[in-house]
Protein backbone atom coordinates (compact mmCIF):
# COMPACT_ATOMS: atom_id res chain seq x y z
CA UNK A 1 0.00 0.00 0.00
CA UNK A 2 1.40 3.39 -1.03
CA UNK A 3 2.30 5.87 1.70
CA UNK A 4 -0.14 8.83 1.61
CA UNK A 5 1.37 12.20 0.75
CA UNK A 6 1.26 15.15 3.10
CA UNK A 7 -0.84 18.18 2.29
CA UNK A 8 1.38 21.25 1.72
CA UNK A 9 0.74 24.56 3.44
CA UNK A 10 -1.71 26.76 1.55
CA UNK A 11 -0.66 29.71 -0.57
CA UNK A 12 -0.74 32.86 1.58
CA UNK A 13 -0.16 30.95 4.82
CA UNK A 14 1.75 33.07 7.34
CA UNK A 15 4.67 31.13 8.81
CA UNK A 16 6.22 33.46 11.38
CA UNK A 17 7.42 36.39 9.24
CA UNK A 18 7.30 34.40 5.98
CA UNK A 19 4.35 34.24 3.58
CA UNK A 20 4.02 31.04 1.54
CA UNK A 21 3.86 31.88 -2.19
CA UNK A 22 3.87 28.45 -3.85
CA UNK A 23 5.06 24.86 -3.66
CA UNK A 24 8.51 24.28 -5.20
CA UNK A 25 8.96 20.57 -4.58
CA UNK A 26 7.67 17.72 -2.44
CA UNK A 27 9.34 14.41 -1.64
CA UNK A 28 9.17 11.62 0.86
CA UNK A 29 11.31 13.52 3.37
CA UNK A 30 10.30 17.19 3.10
CA UNK A 31 8.34 19.90 1.30
CA UNK A 32 10.00 23.03 -0.12
CA UNK A 33 8.11 26.30 -0.66
CA UNK A 34 8.84 29.64 -2.24
CA UNK A 35 8.02 32.29 0.36
CA UNK A 36 8.60 36.00 0.98
CA UNK A 37 9.73 37.66 4.19
CA UNK A 38 8.33 40.90 5.64
CA UNK A 39 10.49 42.88 3.17
CA UNK A 40 9.15 40.83 0.23
CA UNK A 41 12.55 39.12 -0.11
CA UNK A 42 12.16 35.67 -1.75
CA UNK A 43 13.35 32.63 0.21
CA UNK A 44 13.06 28.85 -0.03
CA UNK A 45 11.46 27.29 3.05
CA UNK A 46 12.05 23.60 3.69
CA UNK A 47 9.58 21.79 5.97
CA UNK A 48 10.60 18.54 7.67
CA UNK A 49 7.69 16.22 6.86
CA UNK A 50 8.55 12.52 6.24
CA UNK A 51 5.55 10.77 4.67
CA UNK A 52 6.42 7.46 6.30
CA UNK A 53 6.11 8.86 9.84
CA UNK A 54 3.60 11.73 9.93
CA UNK A 55 0.54 12.89 8.05
CA UNK A 56 -1.06 16.29 7.52
CA UNK A 57 -4.35 16.05 5.69
CA UNK A 58 -5.54 19.64 6.17
CA UNK A 59 -4.66 22.78 8.07
CA UNK A 60 -1.11 23.21 9.40
CA UNK A 61 -0.65 20.71 12.25
CA UNK A 62 1.41 17.55 11.83
CA UNK A 63 0.26 14.24 13.36
CA UNK A 64 2.33 11.08 13.80
CA UNK A 65 0.73 7.93 12.36
CA UNK A 66 1.69 5.78 15.38
CA UNK A 67 3.43 6.01 18.76
CA UNK A 68 6.50 4.29 17.32
CA UNK A 69 6.58 6.69 14.39
CA UNK A 70 6.22 9.62 16.79
CA UNK A 71 9.47 8.63 18.53
CA UNK A 72 11.26 8.24 15.19
CA UNK A 73 9.84 11.54 13.95
CA UNK A 74 11.05 13.39 17.05
CA UNK A 75 14.51 11.88 16.66
CA UNK A 76 14.63 12.97 13.02
CA UNK A 77 13.28 16.37 14.03
CA UNK A 78 16.21 16.86 16.40
CA UNK A 79 18.69 15.83 13.68
CA UNK A 80 17.06 18.16 11.15
CA UNK A 81 17.22 21.05 13.63
CA UNK A 82 20.87 20.37 14.48
CA UNK A 83 21.63 20.11 10.77
CA UNK A 84 20.07 23.53 10.24
CA UNK A 85 22.21 25.00 13.00
CA UNK A 86 25.36 23.53 11.47
CA UNK A 87 24.54 24.60 7.91
CA UNK A 88 23.66 28.11 9.08
CA UNK A 89 27.31 28.53 10.11
CA UNK A 90 28.60 27.51 6.67
CA UNK A 91 29.05 30.64 4.58
CA UNK A 92 30.29 29.55 1.17
CA UNK A 93 29.31 30.73 -2.32
CA UNK A 94 28.93 27.15 -3.58
CA UNK A 95 26.69 25.97 -0.73
CA UNK A 96 23.07 27.00 -0.38
CA UNK A 97 22.88 29.58 2.39
CA UNK A 98 20.68 28.81 5.40
CA UNK A 99 19.18 32.07 6.66
CA UNK A 100 17.01 30.83 9.52
CA UNK A 101 15.57 27.72 11.16
CA UNK A 102 12.76 27.42 13.68
CA UNK A 103 10.08 25.17 15.16
CA UNK A 104 6.40 25.59 14.24
CA UNK A 105 3.35 23.39 13.56
CA UNK A 106 4.98 20.56 15.56
CA UNK A 107 7.83 20.31 13.06
CA UNK A 108 10.95 22.25 11.95
CA UNK A 109 11.52 24.70 9.10
CA UNK A 110 14.76 25.66 7.38
CA UNK A 111 14.82 28.98 5.51
CA UNK A 112 17.34 29.15 2.64
CA UNK A 113 18.48 31.63 0.03
CA UNK A 114 16.28 31.35 -3.05
CA UNK A 115 18.57 30.78 -6.05
CA UNK A 116 17.76 31.67 -9.66
CA UNK A 117 19.03 29.56 -12.53
CA UNK A 118 18.50 25.90 -13.35
CA UNK A 119 19.64 22.52 -12.14
CA UNK A 120 22.42 20.54 -13.74
CA UNK A 121 19.76 17.92 -14.42
CA UNK A 122 17.93 20.41 -16.63
CA UNK A 123 21.21 21.32 -18.33
CA UNK A 124 21.83 17.64 -19.08
CA UNK A 125 18.34 17.24 -20.54
CA UNK A 126 18.82 20.25 -22.79
CA UNK A 127 22.34 19.36 -23.98
CA UNK A 128 21.63 15.69 -24.64
CA UNK A 129 19.05 16.59 -27.22
CA UNK A 130 22.05 17.87 -29.17
CA UNK A 131 25.75 17.18 -28.53
CA UNK A 132 26.08 16.47 -24.80
CA UNK A 133 27.47 18.54 -21.93
CA UNK A 134 30.72 20.30 -22.82
CA UNK A 135 33.82 19.13 -20.94
CA UNK A 136 34.84 22.69 -20.06
CA UNK A 137 31.46 23.21 -18.40
CA UNK A 138 31.77 19.91 -16.53
CA UNK A 139 35.21 20.80 -15.18
CA UNK A 140 34.11 24.34 -14.24
CA UNK A 141 30.94 23.23 -12.43
CA UNK A 142 32.50 20.40 -10.46
CA UNK A 143 35.74 22.12 -9.55
CA UNK A 144 33.85 25.02 -7.94
CA UNK A 145 31.19 22.74 -6.46
CA UNK A 146 33.96 20.77 -4.75
CA UNK A 147 35.09 23.98 -3.03
CA UNK A 148 31.73 23.99 -1.29
CA UNK A 149 31.71 20.26 -0.59
CA UNK A 150 35.13 20.56 1.00
CA UNK A 151 33.69 23.13 3.43
CA UNK A 152 30.85 20.72 4.25
CA UNK A 153 33.34 17.94 5.05
CA UNK A 154 35.40 20.29 7.21
CA UNK A 155 32.24 20.83 9.28
CA UNK A 156 31.97 17.07 9.93
CA UNK A 157 29.03 16.67 7.55
CA UNK A 158 28.38 14.46 4.56
CA UNK A 159 25.85 15.34 1.89
CA UNK A 160 25.03 11.75 0.80
CA UNK A 161 22.69 12.78 -2.02
CA UNK A 162 24.88 14.48 -4.63
CA UNK A 163 23.14 14.28 -8.00
CA UNK A 164 22.43 16.63 -10.94
CA UNK A 165 19.01 17.54 -9.50
CA UNK A 166 20.75 18.87 -6.35
CA UNK A 167 23.37 20.89 -8.26
CA UNK A 168 22.09 24.32 -9.23
CA UNK A 169 23.76 26.51 -11.83
CA UNK A 170 23.10 30.17 -11.20
CA UNK A 171 22.55 32.62 -14.00
CA UNK A 172 26.19 33.74 -13.73
CA UNK A 173 27.35 30.13 -14.28
CA UNK A 174 28.45 29.45 -10.71
CA UNK A 175 27.25 26.17 -9.13
CA UNK A 176 25.61 25.77 -5.74
CA UNK A 177 24.97 22.52 -3.88
CA UNK A 178 21.35 22.23 -2.77
CA UNK A 179 19.17 20.00 -0.62
CA UNK A 180 20.92 18.73 2.45
CA UNK A 181 17.91 16.60 3.34
CA UNK A 182 20.10 13.51 3.35
CA UNK A 183 23.00 15.12 5.17
CA UNK A 184 23.91 13.50 8.45
CA UNK A 185 26.71 14.16 10.90
CA UNK A 186 28.20 10.77 10.12
CA UNK A 187 31.78 11.84 10.73
CA UNK A 188 31.11 11.95 14.49
CA UNK A 189 30.61 8.78 16.49
CA UNK A 190 27.36 9.83 18.15
CA UNK A 191 25.62 10.06 14.78
CA UNK A 192 27.14 6.99 13.17
CA UNK A 193 24.00 4.91 13.67
CA UNK A 194 21.82 7.17 11.50
CA UNK A 195 20.75 5.55 8.24
CA UNK A 196 21.22 7.87 5.26
CA UNK A 197 18.69 8.33 2.50
CA UNK A 198 19.99 7.78 -1.01
CA UNK A 199 19.15 8.01 -4.72
CA UNK A 200 19.77 4.80 -6.74
CA UNK A 201 22.46 5.33 -9.36
CA UNK A 202 24.10 8.18 -7.46
CA UNK A 203 24.49 6.46 -4.08
CA UNK A 204 27.73 4.66 -3.25
CA UNK A 205 27.57 0.93 -2.44
CA UNK A 206 28.38 1.54 1.23
CA UNK A 207 25.17 3.58 1.56
CA UNK A 208 23.15 0.41 0.98
CA UNK A 209 24.89 -1.49 3.75
CA UNK A 210 23.48 0.56 6.64
CA UNK A 211 26.66 0.37 8.65
CA UNK A 212 29.82 2.32 9.31
CA UNK A 213 32.16 3.06 6.44
CA UNK A 214 30.74 6.32 5.11
CA UNK A 215 33.17 9.17 4.51
CA UNK A 216 34.22 11.84 1.99
CA UNK A 217 34.78 9.01 -0.52
CA UNK A 218 31.02 8.34 -0.35
CA UNK A 219 30.19 11.84 -1.59
CA UNK A 220 32.96 11.47 -4.18
CA UNK A 221 31.08 8.49 -5.65
CA UNK A 222 28.07 10.83 -6.04
CA UNK A 223 30.28 13.38 -7.80
CA UNK A 224 31.54 10.69 -10.20
CA UNK A 225 28.01 9.48 -10.87
CA UNK A 226 26.91 13.07 -11.58
CA UNK A 227 29.76 13.59 -14.07
CA UNK A 228 28.82 10.25 -15.63
CA UNK A 229 25.27 11.58 -16.08
CA UNK A 230 26.71 14.58 -17.94
CA UNK A 231 28.36 12.15 -20.36
CA UNK A 232 25.58 9.59 -20.67
CA UNK A 233 22.45 11.66 -20.14
CA UNK A 234 21.38 9.22 -17.43
CA UNK A 235 22.57 7.83 -14.09
CA UNK A 236 24.96 4.86 -13.93
CA UNK A 237 23.50 1.50 -12.89
CA UNK A 238 22.63 1.38 -9.14
CA UNK A 239 25.62 0.37 -7.00
CA UNK A 240 23.79 -2.54 -5.32
CA UNK A 241 23.11 -4.05 -8.76
CA UNK A 242 26.69 -3.40 -9.84
CA UNK A 243 27.92 -5.40 -6.86
CA UNK A 244 25.97 -8.43 -8.11
CA UNK A 245 26.73 -7.94 -11.81
CA UNK A 246 28.58 -4.86 -12.95
CA UNK A 247 26.99 -3.63 -16.17
CA UNK A 248 28.63 -0.21 -16.12
CA UNK A 249 29.44 0.58 -19.80
CA UNK A 250 33.06 0.81 -20.87
CA UNK A 251 33.58 4.54 -20.48
CA UNK A 252 36.43 4.86 -23.00
CA UNK A 253 34.67 2.83 -25.70
CA UNK A 254 31.47 4.79 -25.25
CA UNK A 255 32.75 8.38 -24.86
CA UNK A 256 36.47 8.30 -25.68
CA UNK A 257 35.89 10.25 -28.90
CA UNK A 258 34.08 13.11 -27.13
CA UNK A 259 35.89 13.57 -23.80
CA UNK A 260 39.51 13.63 -22.67
CA UNK A 261 41.06 10.46 -21.21
CA UNK A 262 41.80 12.43 -18.03
CA UNK A 263 38.10 13.20 -17.45
CA UNK A 264 37.13 9.60 -18.21
CA UNK A 265 39.74 8.42 -15.72
CA UNK A 266 38.21 10.68 -13.05
CA UNK A 267 34.80 9.11 -13.63
CA UNK A 268 36.30 5.62 -13.56
CA UNK A 269 38.08 6.17 -10.25
CA UNK A 270 35.15 7.90 -8.56
CA UNK A 271 32.79 5.05 -9.51
CA UNK A 272 34.95 2.24 -8.17
CA UNK A 273 32.88 -0.04 -5.95
CA UNK A 274 35.70 -0.40 -3.41
CA UNK A 275 35.73 2.84 -1.35
CA UNK A 276 39.50 2.82 -0.80
CA UNK A 277 40.06 2.82 -4.56
CA UNK A 278 38.35 6.17 -5.05
CA UNK A 279 39.91 9.57 -4.39
CA UNK A 280 39.81 9.87 -0.62
CA UNK A 281 39.32 13.62 -0.34
CA UNK A 282 37.80 16.53 -2.20
CA UNK A 283 41.25 18.14 -2.44
CA UNK A 284 42.64 15.10 -4.23
CA UNK A 285 39.74 15.08 -6.70
CA UNK A 286 40.15 18.79 -7.40
CA UNK A 287 43.80 18.27 -8.29
CA UNK A 288 42.71 15.65 -10.82
CA UNK A 289 40.22 18.09 -12.36
CA UNK A 290 42.99 20.67 -12.78
CA UNK A 291 45.15 18.30 -14.84
CA UNK A 292 45.44 19.41 -18.50
CA UNK A 293 42.98 17.66 -20.80
CA UNK A 294 44.32 15.69 -23.75
CA UNK A 295 42.34 15.72 -27.00
CA UNK A 296 39.64 13.04 -27.28
CA UNK A 297 40.56 10.04 -29.40
CA UNK A 298 39.08 9.73 -32.86
CA UNK A 299 36.61 6.93 -33.43
CA UNK A 300 39.05 4.51 -35.05
CA UNK A 301 41.58 1.87 -34.18
CA UNK A 302 43.24 4.48 -31.94
CA UNK A 303 40.40 4.09 -29.43
CA UNK A 304 41.50 0.53 -28.68
CA UNK A 305 45.05 1.70 -28.06
CA UNK A 306 43.77 4.43 -25.78
CA UNK A 307 41.65 1.92 -23.92
CA UNK A 308 44.63 -0.35 -23.24
CA UNK A 309 46.74 2.61 -22.10
CA UNK A 310 43.96 3.94 -19.89
CA UNK A 311 43.32 0.56 -18.25
CA UNK A 312 47.02 0.20 -17.52
CA UNK A 313 47.13 3.70 -16.06
CA UNK A 314 44.19 3.05 -13.72
CA UNK A 315 45.16 -0.49 -12.71
CA UNK A 316 46.43 0.71 -9.31
CA UNK A 317 43.90 3.15 -7.80
CA UNK A 318 45.24 6.08 -5.85
CA UNK A 319 44.79 6.09 -2.10
CA UNK A 320 46.40 9.36 -1.21
CA UNK A 321 44.65 11.17 1.62
CA UNK A 322 44.38 14.91 1.86
Choose among 31, 190, 24, 184: nearest CA to 108.
31
Q: State the average pLDDT for the chain.
A: 85
pTM (predicted TM-score): 0.82
* pLDDT for residue 298: 73
Instruction: Say if residue 310's pLDDT is above 70.
Output: no
Residue 311 pLDDT more than 60?
no
Contact 120, 142 (CB under 8 A): no
> Distance between CA 227 and CA 167 in Å, rounded?
11
318: exposed, middle or buried (C-beta count within 10 Å: 0-12, 13-18, 19+)? middle
pLDDT of residue 321: 44
Structural domains of the chain ordered from first start:
14-113 (3.30.200.20), 118-313 (1.10.510.10)
What pLDDT, on the 0 to 100 scale, is given for residue 75?
84
pLDDT tens across 194-242, in order? 445 678 999 999 998 866 789 999 999 999 999 999 999 999 999 999 9
- Asked whether the predicted pLDDT for residue 306 surpasses 70, the reply is no
Does the pLDDT at position 67 exceed 90?
no
The whole-number pLDDT of residue 10 equals 93
User: In this model, does residue 301 exceed pLDDT 50?
Assistant: no
Per-residue pLDDT band for 65 (boundaries 50, 70, 90) equals: confident
pLDDT band at 60; cut points 50, 70, 90 = confident
Q: How confident is the model at residue 305 (pLDDT cuts 50, 70, 90)?
A: low
Amino acid sequence: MATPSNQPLARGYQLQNYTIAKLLSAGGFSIVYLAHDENDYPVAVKEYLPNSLVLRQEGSQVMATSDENLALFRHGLKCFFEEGKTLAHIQHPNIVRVLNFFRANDTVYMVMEYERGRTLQKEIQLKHTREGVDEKLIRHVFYHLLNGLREVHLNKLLHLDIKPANIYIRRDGSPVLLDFGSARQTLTSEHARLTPMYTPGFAAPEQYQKKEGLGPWTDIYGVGASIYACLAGTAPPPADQRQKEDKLPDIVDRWGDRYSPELLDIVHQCLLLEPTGRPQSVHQLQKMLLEPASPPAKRSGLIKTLRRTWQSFTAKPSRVNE
